[in-house]
């Protein structure tokens, strides 16, 4: 578990006559792999605890001259000095034992291979060919079950295909911490089952489908859609959150059919969350925009040609003071395109990637602190304590959660969380919940502080976090929700930053960029934040806005109306609230249709290539480049590759940064009576734009509930499951209640779930006073 | 030695034999004249035998029982389609003539028993070589070949047969899918051939 190679004891053993030296504790099956000897297996998985469930990996073992009387499962036995192992290659006994086990496994295994999803990439199929008997001797009737049964709305189980390896149950217990499935019954009737009361609504259930060594678990959205040899696979990166998962995109006939978790030991290991795995239907949505659209004199959008649309956009932007809003979902290259477009073509620093709540304090925090952060997953692995500040890892960055869970399970990693209440995720981590950052203690240089994007909602919190990290020497990580935020920050898509973390107000930094871009001047004044831009648009201080992938409802309920009087150029993939008010709509490519890279929360580059070769859509940066050419202020970024090269040549700023914010924490207003302060965050599976159209995924979303304290519940006279109404002067949310460890004066609702969209209903995600009454 | 004779044989190229047989007919034995007469006799006697020529297209002769003709997508006795959209026919096809897209049956729209049905089914008869491998591959006997062989047409498009061109006609007692499965049945009941025909309760969705 530790990475100190010097202190690890090495052991030498002999496998099939070859000597191999491995660290103490290595399993025989793994030591054999090191020699290139493949022992067949089903239940063994390097990231799961050994189970010895399938018995397929039987080998002959002898220690110091004393042989085991029977073949042993090599996936459960660690190597020892003087051990002599004979695999199926050298021992007829082991070979016969393996063939016998294979025969047993196949007795009740149906001949579904021709129609089974796994056929063609099935370990059982492959190993039956390599290590099984060529002919079946079984003439009886195979055991059958009704098939398939829904384990959840996403995962289907064909019980007769199961070889009882327990990989799925071990995964959900050991990796995800959601032991919703288990092996029921015994003997031939043994099967994977769910608890009737507690459905398999894990955020990580898709991994069980991927690690199932037979086709017993299948994904509802991929079932019977294709066979492995139909698919064209491309390594890609996940566009959903800042975890930065390595994914594989499988395309057939121009359609994405599935995405699998890729292997990256330093990031997602072999896992991914269900959102990343199944949330790709938006790509082939009917709402996709395929041609440029222009708003005509009749007030409707009409299809237009590219030259027409670009000319109209350029004409509309000419002579106006314009700003740029980029959603947090852009690749670094695209964000760089917007950044350069704003500075050169629009001559402004009014650009902000935060299509959510934001503050000046956060801008300063990002510019001063986050651009230089280098905390990684490895630091979590080695941490003595992890403090989560307004950050719920399971909902907001699931792979960070898996890392935390792994460490908390293995070595009882201490996790402290500053949150309104203990979520399911923090309960699984055994996190200690605190109400105030001053309660954080025992932070050392080995500790890790992970601060979420919601921290800006508490004025002064980011300043305190920065100061605390400075004081204690603890490693600091900023984990935004969206995949493109860290990259956009690096690309300078922020009012006070130029690319590479260069402060706008620093003359030397500007000269750096001026010479790189070949321009004589750059605007020297720090730009507005998203909120300030919207206010300026509302007051007509700004006349135009270029918007890339922003849902105005993520920012505030007024965002859309404040843009109504301005000239709006929208670069979008699908029809949305934004395109409904835009004057020019330019269609852009989705992640599978373009190449590019993201920076995950660590600042690690997650580059990917396009999965669809013959797509006609283009990346944002290419379109901005065309627009800039039309405006006669070119940005010269014709391709994504050229953009990536330019970003690389700029490098990171090593001069002085802006000063960190030093705002002090404001005392919170304590409401009384049936009033409460609103708290919320987004659940992983909710009404997010990129999850649209995937009903199976939505089926496993956690139900929306109002979380109140036991005392408040007693006052209201409600118990778990009763409905309560949360009312603000703008609207009401009525949901079933869940009693939690939330402070008495607070109430929590999901920010963007079915029946609970706090920004739409209340106009705010946090901090407003609401009234809670029994419904 | 053996090697030498081999070479000699090869170098000869059968010339010696040819030379001996190419001698003028007068020099051949008398029996060969009767052999020629025998040949003429065959021609002559054929004039009095039954004629095999069929006056196609004015007359049509039945094909052999297992003739590989145009494909047909069969139905279960109640009218549900047998095709489950598994694409095995497309995979078996050596000419890449078959294109299948599967769809998911829903309780409201059930086209075949079980989970899946063939949503798009095309056979390109410009490519098809009538080998019958698709028929062997079909797990539900949904695809069989008929005896129809008149498949000429004037455009390429017309020779790509769609699902509606290939589907077997509705016979007595069959209902046009989509309609629900026979009451109390499962897909296994269908595959075992235990569904006798349509049931009045299945008509509910037939006109939807």
Q: Residue length, chain A?
A: 775
* Contact call for A114 and B85, based on CB within 8 A: no
Q: In this structure, are residues A414 and A446 in contact, taking their beta carbons and an 8 Å threshold?
A: no
Q: If phi over 0 gives left and psi between -120 and 50 gives alpha, with beta otherwise, what is residue A33?
A: alpha
pLDDT at B205 over 60: no
Pair of tokens at residue A630: 């039309």
Q: Given a cut of 50, is residue A2 above it in pLDDT?
A: no
**How far B155 CA sits from the closest chain A CA (Å)?**
25
**What would the mean pLDDT of A364-377 be, rounded to a whole number?**
93
**What residues in B contact A227, CB-CB < 8 Å?**
87, 91
Q: CB distance B84–A223 less than 8 Å? A: no
| Chain A closest-CA separation from residue B154 CA (Å) | 29
Tell me the count of A-B CB pairs closer than 8 A. Answer: 19
Beta bridge partners of A192: A183
Compute the distance between CA of residue A460 and CA of residue B109 in angstroms, rounded to an integer: 58
Please tell me the predicted confidence (pLDDT) of residue B8. 54
Nearest CA in chain A to B138: A114
pLDDT at B9: 53
Q: Are A552 and A577 in contact, with CB atoms under 8 Å apart?
A: yes
* Cβ-defined contact of B85 to A224 (cutoff 8 Å): yes
Q: What is the mean pLDDT of residues A696-702?
A: 87
Residues A335, A341, A343, A346, CA torsion sign:
negative
What are residue A190's phi and psi, to 5 degrees? -60, 140
Spatial distance between the Cα atoms of A59 and A56, rounded to a whole number of angstroms = 9
Asked if the model's pLDDT at residue A376 lies above 50, the reply is yes
Average pLDDT over residues A699-718: 91
Cα dihedral sign, A584-A590-A594-A600: positive
CA distance A432 to A424: 13
Task: State the average pLDDT for chain B.
Answer: 86
d(CA A216, CA A208): 10
Mean pLDDT computed over A542-549 = 92
Residues of chain B positioned with their CB less than 8 A from the CB of A115: 84, 86, 88, 139
Span B40-67, average pLDDT:
91
Confidence of residue A375 (pLDDT cuts 50, 70, 90): very high
pLDDT per position as a tens digit, A286-337: 889 999 999 999 989 999 999 999 999 999 999 899 999 998 899 999 999 9
Q: What pLDDT is attached to residue B153?
A: 93
What is the reported pLDDT for A1? 44
Please name the residue ranges forming H helices in A11-161: 28-34, 92-107, 123-131
Question: Which residue numbers of A have CB closer than 8 Å to B's CBs?
Answer: 114-115, 148, 223-225, 227
Please report the pLDDT score of residue B2 as a whole number: 46
Q: Show the CA angle centred on residue A463, arms to residues A457 and A464, nearest 5°.
A: 100
Mean pLDDT on A631-647: 93
**pTM for this one?**
0.88
- Residue of A218, A221, A224 to mutate when probing chain B, most B C-beta within 10 A: A224
Give residue B11's pLDDT band: very low, low, confident or very high (50, 70, 90). Answer: low
- Closest residue of chain A to B116, computed from CA coordinates: A224
Q: What is the pLDDT of residue B204?
A: 65
Please state, in angstroms and rounded to a whole number, the distance separating the CA atoms of residues A568 and A580.
10
For residue A142, which residues of chain B lie inside 8 Å, CB to CB?
none
Q: What is the DSSP letter of A51?
A: -
Confidence at residue A235, expressed as pLDDT on a 0 to 100 scale: 94
- In Å, the largest CA–CA distance within chain B is 91
Q: Do B102 and A225 touch (CB under 8 A)?
A: yes
- Among A191-200, A439-448, B68-77, the range with the most confident prediction by mean pLDDT is B68-77
pLDDT of residue B10: 56
Nearest Cβ partner for A224 among B116, B137, B139: B116
Average pLDDT over residues B26-49: 83
pLDDT in tens, A152-206: 889 999 988 999 999 999 999 999 998 888 888 887 778 888 777 777 788 999 9
Token pair 């029809």: residue: A575
For the segment A275-296, the average pLDDT, to the nearest whole number, is: 91
| Contact list, A153 vs chain B (CB under 8 Å) | none
Mean pLDDT of A406-421: 94
The reported pLDDT for the residue numbered B22 is 64
- Mean pLDDT for chain A overall: 91
User: For A742-770, how does the pLDDT look when each residue is reduced to its tens digit (9 = 90+)?
Assistant: 999 999 999 999 888 888 888 888 888 99
Average pLDDT rounded to a whole number, residues B23-35 = 68
The model's pLDDT over A64-74, given as tens digits with 9 standing for 90+, comes to: 889 999 999 99
pLDDT of residue B29: 64
**Is A6's pLDDT higher than 60?**
no
**Which segments of B47-148 does DSSP mark as H helices, in order?**
88-92, 133-137
Contact indicator for A690, A683 with CB cutoff of 8 Å = no
Q: What is the DSSP string of A215-270?
A: SSEEETTTTTT--GGG-EEEEEE-SSSTT--EEEEEEETTEEEEEEE--BTTTTBT
> What is the chain B residue with the closest CA to A224?
B86
Question: Can you state the percent helix, strand and coil of chain A, rounding each to 5?
Answer: 30, 20, 45
pLDDT of residue A395: 94
Q: Within its chain, how far is the Cα of B105 from the centroid?
A: 29
Q: What is the pLDDT of residue A151?
A: 86
Q: Which two tokens stand for residue A683?
A: 């659940």
Flag the least confident range among A194-208, A457-471, A573-587: A194-208
Q: How confident is the model at residue B30 (pLDDT cuts 50, 70, 90)?
A: low
Residue B5 pLDDT greater than 60, yes or no: no
Q: Does B86 touch chain A (CB under 8 A)?
A: yes
Percent of chain A with pLDDT over 90: 71
């Amino acid at each position: 578990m530790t990475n100190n190679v010097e202190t690890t004891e090495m052991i030498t053993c002999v496998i099939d006559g070859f000597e191999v030296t491995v660290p103490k504790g290595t399993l025989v099956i793994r030591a054999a792999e090191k020699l290139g000897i493949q022992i067949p297996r089903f239940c063994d998985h390097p990231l799961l605890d050994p189970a010895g469930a399938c018995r397929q990996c039987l080998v002959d073992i002898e220690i110091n001259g004393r042989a085991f009387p029977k073949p042993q499962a090599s996936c459960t036995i660690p190597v020892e000095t003087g051990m002599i192992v004979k695999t199926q290659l050298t021992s007829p006994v082991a070979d016969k034992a393996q063939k016998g086990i294979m025969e047993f496994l196949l007795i009740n295994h149906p001949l579904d291979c021709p129609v089974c999803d796994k056929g063609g990439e099935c370990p059982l199929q492959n190993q039956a060919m390599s290590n099984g008997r060529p002919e079946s001797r079984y003439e009886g009737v195979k055991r059958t079950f009704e098939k398939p049964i829904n384990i959840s709305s996403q995962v289907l189980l064909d019980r007769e295909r199961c070889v009882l390896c327990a990989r799925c149950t071990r995964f959900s217990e050991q990796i995800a911490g959601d032991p919703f499935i288990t092996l029921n019954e015994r003997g031939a009737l043994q099967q994977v089952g769910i608890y009737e009361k507690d459905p398999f609504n894990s955020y990580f259930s898709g991994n069980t489908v991927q690690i199932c060594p037979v086709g017993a678990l299948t994904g509802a959205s991929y079932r019977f859609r294709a066979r492995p040899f139909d698919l064209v696979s491309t390594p890609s990166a996940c566009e959903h959150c800042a975890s930065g998962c390595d994914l594989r995109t499988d395309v057939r006939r121009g359609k994405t059919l599935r995405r699998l978790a890729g292997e990256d030991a330093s990031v997602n290991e072999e896992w991914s969350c269900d959102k990343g795995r199944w949330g790709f239907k938006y790509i082939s949505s009917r709402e996709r925009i395929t041609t440029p659209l222009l708003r005509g004199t009749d007030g409707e959008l009409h299809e237009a040609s590219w030259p027409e649309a670009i000319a109209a956009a350029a004409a509309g932007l000419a002579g106006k003071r314009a700003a740029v809003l980029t959603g947090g979902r852009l690749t670094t290259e695209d964000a760089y395109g917007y950044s350069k477009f704003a500075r050169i073509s629009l001559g402004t620093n009014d650009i902000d990637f935060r299509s959510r709540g934001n503050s000046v304090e956060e801008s300063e925090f990002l510019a001063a602190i986050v651009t230089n952060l280098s905390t990684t997953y490895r630091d979590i692995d080695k941490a003595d304590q992890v403090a989560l500040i307004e950050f719920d890892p399971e909902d907001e960055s699931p792979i960070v959660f898996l890392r935390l869970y792994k460490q908390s399970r293995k070595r009882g990693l201490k996790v402290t969380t500053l949150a309104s209440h203990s979520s399911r995720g923090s309960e699984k981590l055994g996190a200690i919940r605190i109400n105030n950052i001053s309660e954080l203690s025992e932070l050392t240089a080995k500790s890790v502080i992970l601060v979420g994007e919601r921290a800006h909602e508490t004025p002064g919190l980011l300043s305190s976090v920065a100061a605390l990290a400075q004081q204690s020497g603890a490693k600091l990580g900023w984990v935004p929700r969206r995949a493109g935020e860290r990259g956009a920050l690096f690309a300078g898509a922020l009012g006070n930053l130029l690319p590479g973390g260069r402060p706008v107000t620093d003359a030397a930094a500007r000269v750096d960029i001026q010479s790189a871009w070949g321009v004589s001047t750059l605007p020297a004044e720090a730009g507005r934040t998203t909120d300030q831009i919207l206010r300026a648009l509302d007051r007509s201080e700004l006349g135009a806005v270029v918007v890339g992938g922003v849902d105005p409802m993520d920012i505030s309920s007024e965002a859309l109306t404040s843009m109504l009087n301005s000239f709006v150029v929208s670069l979008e993939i699908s029809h949305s609230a934004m395109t409904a008010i835009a004057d020019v709509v330019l269609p852009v490519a989705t992640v599978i249709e373009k190449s590019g890279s993201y920076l995950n929360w660590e600042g690690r580059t997650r580059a990917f290539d396009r999965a669809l070769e013959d797509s006609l859509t283009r990346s944002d940066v290419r379109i901005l480049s065309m627009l800039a050419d039309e405006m006669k202020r070119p940005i010269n970024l014709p391709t994504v590759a050229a953009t990536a090269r330019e970003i690389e040549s700029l490098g990171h700023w090593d001069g002085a940064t802006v000063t960190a914010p030093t705002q002090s924490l404001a005392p919170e207003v304590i409401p009384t009576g049936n009033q409460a302060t609103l708290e919320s965050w987004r659940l992983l599976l909710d009404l997010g734009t990129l999850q649209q159209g995937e009903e199976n995924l939505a089926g496993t979303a956690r139900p929306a509930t109002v979380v109140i304290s036991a005392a408040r519940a007693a006052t209201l006279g409600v118990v778990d499951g009763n409905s309560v109404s949360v009312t603000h002067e703008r609207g009401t949310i009525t949901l079933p209640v869940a009693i939690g460890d939330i402070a008495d004066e607070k109430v929590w609702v999901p920010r963007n779930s079915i029946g609970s969209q706090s920004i739409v209903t209340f106009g705010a995600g946090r901090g407003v006073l609401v009234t809670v009454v029994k419904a | 030695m053996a090697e030498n004779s081999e070479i000699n044989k090869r170098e000869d190229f059968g010339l010696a034999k040819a030379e001996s047989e190419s001698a003028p007919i007068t020099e051949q034995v008398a029996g060969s004249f009767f052999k020629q007469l025998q040949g003429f006799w065959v021609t002559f006697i054929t004039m009095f035998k039954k004629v095999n020529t069929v006056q196609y297209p004015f007359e049509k002769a039945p094909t052999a029982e297992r003739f590989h003709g145009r494909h047909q997508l069969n139905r279960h006795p109640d009218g549900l389609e047998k095709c489950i959209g598994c694409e095995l026919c497309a995979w078996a096809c050596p000419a890449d003539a078959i294109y299948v897209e599967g769809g998911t049956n829903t309780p409201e729209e059930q086209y075949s028993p079980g989970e899946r049905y063939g949503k798009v089914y095309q056979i390109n008869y410009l490519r098809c070589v009538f080998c019958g491998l698709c028929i062997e591959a079909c797990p539900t006997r949904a695809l069989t070949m008929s005896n129809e062989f008149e498949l000429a047409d004037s455009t390429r498009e017309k020779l790509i047969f769609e699902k509606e061109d290939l589907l077997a006609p509705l016979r007595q007692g069959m209902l046009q899918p989509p309609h629900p499965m026979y009451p109390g049945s499962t897909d296994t009941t269908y595959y075992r051939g235990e569904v006798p025909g349509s049931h009045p309760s299945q008509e509910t969705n037939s006109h939807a």
